[in-house]
Amino acid sequence: MTKQRRVILEELRKVDTHPTADRVYAMVRKRLPRISLGTVYRNLEVLSEAGEIQKLESAGTQKRFDGNAEPHLHIRCLVCGKVADAPPGVDLPDVPGCHESDFHITGVRVECVGYCPNCHN
């Protein structure tokens, strides 16, 4: 693992804010001032393909990254895009039937959506 990749992983694992690539770039640049945004993007993709981190994709929103690679339930605000983890003990729901299609299923994506405390008035 390159030093850049290790720093990206360390910074991402320090937070539970599920940052976008731009935010990760800002965090990493404090330690590696010469790193480029492209390098951050590329390393985030490599880390998520290696299963070290999670990539959270949702139609119409920026990709976010999670230093916690364990599958867990996410909650997303429909207004500001904030992503939080579900409270401890809340497991991902089982989705019956999806393995019965002729697709080769590699995962199930489920997230709760709603309004965060700041956006709910």
Task: Please give the residue ranges that form the binding site for Zn ion (CB under 5 A).
Answer: 66, 77, 79-80, 82, 85, 116, 119
Nearer to Zn ion, 1 or 79 (CB): 79
Question: Is residue 90 within 8 Å of 73, Cβ to Cβ?
Answer: yes
What 3-state class would DSSP assign to 99? helix
Q: Based on CB atoms, which residue is closest to Zn ion, 95 or 119?
A: 119
> Could you tell me the smallest distance in angstroms from the CB atom of residue 1 to Zn ion?
22
For residue 108, give every residue at least 6 positions away whose Cβ sits within 8 Å of its Cβ, in sequence order, or none: 92, 95, 98
Name which of 52 and 85 has its Cβ closer to Zn ion.
85
